[in-house]
Amino acid sequence: MQELLRVMRTIDDRIVHELNTTIPTASFVGKIDASQTCKALYQSLMEAHTSRERIIKNCIAQTSSVVKTLREEREKAQDDVALLKQLRKEQTKLKLMQSELNVEEVVNDRSWKNSNNKISHQPIDQKLQHP
């Protein structure tokens, strides 16, 4: 899962790079429709963030369910060492996924900040607005 998230997070970097290369400087403002570019990049960024958050929350829900089931089984078979190991493994996995949700928030904030810094030199109607 972490590798998948790492790959998915490169999308933010690509979008910010695209902003840096497609939003016109003052001398090229009339030659490129920055407003449409901003809207398209905004939509791409929103979709990437929503998709990653949904994936992380889905994994958290599934792992939470597994942890709950293993806890119930553990109460019935307290001497089962293998079951205890599996429970601890799943609990560790759950904590990791929950921390990924925090990482995702930081990544998203960084992407919005970078995007808005680039666009801050555009006319007000062309700026991205973070929801």
Q: Using alpha carbons only, how large is the chain's radius of gyration in Å?
A: 21
Looking up tokens 């607005």, which residue turns up? 129
CA 109 to chain centre: 10
Alpha carbon distances (Å) from 44 to 38, 66, 93, 111 = 10, 33, 29, 12
Alpha carbon distances (Å) from 92 to 5, 52, 96, 129, 131 = 18, 20, 6, 37, 32
Contact 24, 126 (CB under 8 A): no
The residues, any chain, with a CB within 8 Å of residue 60's CB and separated by 6 or more, are 94, 97, 98, 101
- Cβ neighbours of 75 (radius 10 Å): 8
Q: What is the pLDDT along the chain (131 residues), one digit of tens a residue?
A: 777 777 777 777 777 677 666 655 555 555 556 677 777 777 888 888 899 899 999 999 999 999 999 999 999 998 899 999 999 999 999 999 999 899 888 888 887 777 666 555 444 344 444 44
